[in-house]
Structure 1
Amino acid sequence: MDVKSMPHEKGLDNTVHALKEGYRYILNRRKSFQSDVFETHLLGQKAICMGGEAAAELFYDTTKFKRAGAAPKRVQKTLLGEKGVQTLDGKAHLHRKEMFMSLMSPQRLDQMNDMLKKHWEAAVEKWAEQEETVLYHEAQKVLFRAACEWAGVPFEEKEVAELAADLGKMIETPTEIGPAHWMGRHDRNQTEKWIENLIEQVRDKELSPPEGTALAVFSWHRDLEGNLLDTHTAAVEVLNIIRPIVAIAIYINFTALAVHEYPAAKEKLTDGDPKQLQAFVQEVRRFYPFFPFQGAIVKKDFTWQGYEFEEGTLTILDIYGTNHDPAIWSNPDVFDPTRFIGWKESPFSFIPQGGGDFLGGHRCAGEWLTIKVMNTCLDYLANRMEYEVPPQDLSYSLNEMPSVPHSEMILKNVRMKNE
């Protein structure tokens, strides 16, 4: 096979450009190079960036890429935690991933949905008494309560606002520079200590979380050698359940924005048709920014489409750009839920939370839960609540990672319908 020269971005290190351009960094260069793959330098090392359906299928081939060593320390110290499932490969990853997927049964997902409804409706009662409600932060608190109850993690109501905010900072600060980033690290350290203490209580038989919950399962999980996870790693994995659920607040913010800005699409939701709700949710996940990209390391030399991938090379997949790829999506920058009516699912063309196989690969274990939570919240926002959206800054930036509407969706005169 003839080897081709890979398009190359100039510059000794382009990390600053990546941070400044955010979600569109890779997509911009894919367009300018007219190539779905190019070489650059990021974080002081050579990196290959790529996007599109074929690139995603390659990226999630675990025979060619590994995750160990791919996540920068600043991401591990804030967003992911150290020694978590996202950093594992091979049999160790499969074994740990099975632990996560054991929580995602239809029955358990239905339980989460029931808990979410209870906490959402209780929150609406409080929002009705407030002059205004900042949906992003209020949704974080609702999701925190539901996530902890579902995960078997006890908490005190007086701590909810602080703990939910701490989890939010883990999500918001991986790409920050200076004090904001260090605050994210501090908040992760504090929440890890909180969960570590709970795990020690479980192991000392001082605390008995409900059977089948994350705290129960993870506290007693054994690795391939038959050893209990060390307390810190177990705590990281419990947070890898709670934190992503709290992160759904970003999607809920964009869901509320879409309900407000696309009234014609909202009209199709009034009957509560599950297919219409699902299509709207999927389009929110495709259209709005969430994960920008994902990294892996080349396991061994190989050639793909004439391009050489050398062992040890950092490779980054364009998540946002693949979900906005005109080769995959008609009019990708138009919000159109109808594209998901009758849509035949693909594990590599639509990858808001990763691609490929759930169990054997690195697709997010909580994707089903995310979709279920979003469907429920959409039904409340579109059909079961009344509220006003006062004048505010509803714009959002693709240069900020993660991104939410600048006003974080302010609502007024909130109440449940038919009261």
Structure 2
Amino acid sequence: MATMPVDRSPDSTLAFLRSGYRFISERCDRHGSDIFATRLLLERTICLRGRPAAELFYDNERFVRAGALPMRAQRTLTGVGGVQGLDGAEHTNRKAMFMSLMTPSAVGRLGQLFEDEWRARIPVWESSGPVVLYREVARVLTRAVCAWAGVPLPESQVRRRTAQLHAMIEGAAAIGPGHWKGLLARRLGQRWVGDLIDRERIGTLPAPEGSALRVIAEHRDARGRLLPRRIAAVELLNVLRPTVAVDRYIVFAALALHDHPGWRERVRESAETTEAFVQEVRRYYPFFPVTAARVRRSFDWQGHHFPRGRRVLLDLYGTNHHRALWPSPEEFRPDRFAGWRGDPYSFVPQGGGEHLAGHRCAGEWVTIELMKRAVHLLTTAMAYEVPPQNLALDLGRMPALPPSGFLVTNVRRTA
């Protein structure tokens, strides 16, 4: 039996919060191993990175998601009782509900709503002072996804609802006021969409056929029962919140175009190049740091023992930057995705494995579509200047974002 390296600290929670996205990889490099044991939140935890680790981690015969994500993250980010924490037939049933929303035509429709909202904002940006792209894109995404999901959203509520969705995203890793803000946002958000679920069910707010509001309100579990109001509200927010979170990837795409201006012309000329560019943005920049599971039943792997119930973390950022998988991983090189056919275990920005039967993010295709639309808009629909500002990424901050939110000035419509 191989000896699993062990982090020396009696508890590494503070070190994890300080190191952020690099926590697991730094220790893997230090131990010379893609696996080590530590304590996080006072609980024994196994940390993994790399392709074999990802393939292991997404084996549903060996791992479960129930109880894996810390409760502070469930109470802010994902919602208690959401699809991310389900297993077996219950997960299969609920995941199928989400996947039914992700048809190519539905994804394209969301992309078009997003593009239309963006183009409608360009004249406003032209007549205003400096524009914080992160803030503006978030509101564009909120308007678009609510329209797509059948969720009524008066213009007077756009800022408030966007701020609530942002607070849920940021609250999981926050300490003190930031976390409390996330808890309040989750409570208010579930009340908001829970009322919509009730109204759809009694017929006072008939949502469009195929919309997320209607599909979730009418969905029945494996026993033929409607989802409880609270769970339905959690799952509707699990459509809205992750879509708004794509604002970070879009800011990263703008940052990549700024740092690598030679790619602006290349993405204008070719849809295939745009696809490769977007995939490299997803690989290179920080989004989700880790994902969690628990050991279903004890087993041994590569000489290491995994006891029943042990929490296991897969390093998503570290796997996407693993030197054995990605040559020169700290270089931004979209050409590495030219002709790429995909690998669900080496490229895991939004989780790995299979979409339908596994726990890979149901909204991955939406993310790619929205990013491609944004790159197209940034390079063909508008011109702008990037003034001096702090664009450095602090990988100790989760979720990461340039401190300035990516400021642009002198916006001009070009198409």
Q: Distance in 2 between matches of 1:232 and 1:127?
A: 38
8 Å CA contact 1:152, 1:209 repeated in 2: yes
Partner residue, 1:417? 414
Q: Give the Å deviation of 1:155.
A: 1.0
2:41 corresponds to: 43
In the TM superposition, structure 1's runs of 4+ consecutive aligned residues that sit over 2 Å from their partners are none
TM-score by length of 2: 0.99
Alignment partner, residue 385 of structure 1:
382
Letter in 2 for 1:119: E
Query: 8 Å contact 1:251–1:285 — kept in the other structure?
Result: yes
1:245 aligns to what?
243
Q: Percent of aligned positions with the same letter in both sequences?
A: 47
TM-score (norm: length of structure 1): 0.98
Deviates more, 1:120-129 or 1:158-167: 120-129
Residue aligning to 2:59? 61
Map of 1:84 onto structure 2: 82
Query: Helix, strand or coil: the match of 2:127?
Result: coil
Quick check: 1:287 aligned with 2:284? yes
Give the corresponding residue for 1:201: 199
1:129: how far off? 1.4
What is the CA-CA distance between 1:373 and the residue it aligns to?
0.5
Give the aligned partner of residue 314 of structure 1: 311
> Which residue matches 1:337?
334
- Cα distance in 2, alignment partners of residues 72 and 159 from structure 1: 31
Q: CA deviation at 1:87?
A: 0.6
In the alignment, what sits opposite 1:367?
364
Aligned residue type for 2:353: G
Checking the alignment, whether the CA contact within 8 Å between 1:265 and 1:337 is kept in structure 2 is no
- Which residue identity lines up with residue 87 of structure 1 in the other structure? G
Q: CA deviation at 1:225?
A: 1.3
Distance (whole Å) between structure 2 residues aligned to residue 333 and residue 383 of structure 1: 28
Compute the displacement of 1:34 (Å).
0.6
Determine if contact 1:269/1:383 at 8 Å carries over to the other structure.
no
Q: Is this contact kept in 2: 1:196–1:231, CA < 8 A?
A: yes
Q: Which amino acid aligns with 1:37?
A: I
Question: What amino acid is the match of 1:91?
Answer: A
Spell out, residue by residue over 1:333-388, the C-alpha distance to the aligned partner (whole angstroms, 9 max, x if none): 00010000011310100000000100000000000010000000011112221011
Q: What do the CA deviations read for 1:305-350 (whole angstroms, capped 9, x no partner)?
A: 0100000000000000000000000100000100000113101000
C-alpha displacement of 1:167: 0.3
2:188 is the counterpart of 1:190: yes
Shift of 1:169: 1.1
Question: Which residue among 121, 131, 155 is the counterpart of 1:157?
Answer: 155
Equivalent AA in structure 2 for residue 403 of structure 1: A
Unaligned ranges ≥5, structure 2: none
Amino acid at match of 1:335: F
Provide the C-alpha distance between the structure 2 equivalents of 1:370 and 1:191, rounded to a whole number of angstroms.
22
Alignment of 1:187-266 (within 5 A): 187-266=185-264
**Inter-partner Cα distance in structure 1 for 2:340 and 2:224:** 43
State the Cα deviation string for residues 78-104 of structure 1 (Å, max 9, x = none): 110010000100000000000000000
Q: Which residue is 1:166 aligned to?
A: 164
Structure 1 residue aligned with 2:373: 376
Which amino acid is the alignment partner of residue 27 of structure 2? R
Letter in 1 for 2:278: V
User: Where do residues 349-360 of structure 1 align in structure 2 (5 Å cutoff)?
Assistant: 349-360=346-357
Counterparts of 1:416 and 1:78, CA distance in 2? 38
Residue-by-residue CA offset, 1:170-211 (whole Å, 9 max, x unaligned): 111211111111011101110110000011111111010100
Name the amino acid aligned to 1:136: Y
Match of 1:97 among 80, 95, 98: 95
SS at match of 1:270: helix
Q: 5 Å matches for 1:117-132?
A: 117-132=115-130
Could you tell which deviates more after superposition, 394-403 or 117-126? 117-126
Q: Within 1, Cα distance between the matches of 2:212 and 2:181?
A: 27
In 2, Cα distance between equivalents of 1:304 and 1:47: 16
Cα RMSD, aligned residues only: 0.7
Task: Describe the SS at the equivalent of 1:128.
Answer: helix
